[in-house]
Structure 1
């Protein structure tokens, strides 16, 4: 096995365990799988496993205990933040999430307009098309998340991408709170409403107009807040 190949495989393992920590699958104090378990499951050498463990340890995500094995380090606490489905079932919680997104989405859209590539624009168009085709809440949420993830990638700042990917569909307010009916036409109508905002953001990003992209993203968030505040007043 070449050094380059081993390093790449170690990178893959590090990303895997980081993702499990971020998702809360592995929490501080949990034991990592043994070297043998990892080599058998992922068909890699012990050298690769040890390299991955060394990198995790350097990031404070792994602590070795003599005779006991490798454990998730206490420094991983900050990685374990998450927004669970249960935390966004109430309208008040959705409003908090939208308020948090206001500045984040505005800044992200402006940077995307300044840095986007044709490949990024193609990703956004695909997400817009998926939203247009959507006839149910789950499909619309996935398309919605894909659109914002494409904007995050277009910033060229991997922290935006990582944070957006980390929150995933939790970044999108619960459509089920807003939509009481389950019929496809109702979902299509709501999806078109959301997509009009998305198209305004996309147009500004495509034109490379950062200021307009920022305004469009903020207006999108403000309209979402208005819709959910209206629900809150009726409940």
Structure 2
């Protein structure tokens, strides 16, 4: 009788990490869906981590990470000595866009589609209601953005500050809170669109964005709401078009790869 010897195959640590993340995402999605659908009602006790691991055939580490994400998003709470429970306020949880959700181009396109309407009306209100102090704040952010064109991270921070200053100029706190909530997620990273492109391409891109921002600022300074809406919509549409085309190209390469 010939015996067969199992030979251990070396595993790639990165592949293991990616698989773990994928399993965590999948498990989190299942638990979230059960909570949102009412299968797990607010106040009900979640199965133990051991029970979930056995039922879903995943490791305890995957379960811990998925449950931790439920807690971070306000869907679950831990009660010492009693276990994990669905949060009483789970069905009213706040709207969230996590950093993890913006790793893919398709997700950035979705966010830009939403911002298209928000930013358009925000600019119009800012033009109608802005104060002299608001104009100064918008101009300062735009100047910093121009000065930091060679530093994508600093430029992105200044870009966010520019949009936040416009939000505050609406005199509507909800616009400001929304922009503050998005933070740096508001601005798609330049290197995502210009990966592997020469420095000249980065400079041209920065100059184009700067010109679009200046058009918005000029309309707000002139207190011209319609012109401000048009400029803001043009700026957002340009960004949406750029990233939509990039996303389509990525999908095409994925199919043909």
Task: Structure 1: state its 5+ residue gaps.
Answer: 1-23, 32-64
Contact 2:134/2:169 (8 A) holds in 1: yes
State the alpha-carbon separation in 2 of the partners of residues 113 and 212 from structure 1.
9
Contact 1:116/1:205 (8 A) holds in 2: yes
Task: Structure 2: state its 5+ residue gaps.
Answer: 1-70, 251-257
For 1:102, the equivalent position in structure 2 comes to: 116
For 2:74, the equivalent position in structure 1 comes to: 27
**1:86 and 2:86 are equivalent in the alignment:** no
RCO comparison, higher one (Cα < 8 Å, 6+): 1
**1:75 and 2:75 are equivalent in the alignment:** no
Contact 1:108/1:151 (8 A) holds in 2: yes
**1:227 and 2:227 are equivalent in the alignment:** no
Mapping of residues 207-222 of structure 1, within 5 Å: 207-222=222-237
**1:177 and 2:192 are equivalent in the alignment:** yes
Q: CA offsets, 1:34-81, max 9 Å, x none?
A: xxxxxxxxxxxxxxxxxxxxxxxxxxxxxxx9xx9xxxx733764543
CA shift for structure 1 position 90: 1.6
**1:148 and 2:163 are equivalent in the alignment:** yes
Normalising by structure 1, report the TM-score.
0.66
Cα gap change, 1:89 to 1:216, in 2 (>3 Å): same
CA shift for structure 1 position 92: 1.1
Cα gap change, 1:185 to 1:132, in 2 (>3 Å): farther
Moved more, 143-152 or 186-195: 186-195
Match of 1:201 among 202, 205, 216: 216
Normalising by structure 2, report the TM-score.
0.61
Q: What's the RMSD between the two structures over aligned residues?
A: 2.7
Cα gap change, 1:222 to 1:30, in 2 (>3 Å): same
Cα gap change, 1:182 to 1:127, in 2 (>3 Å): farther
Cα gap change, 1:190 to 1:77, in 2 (>3 Å): farther
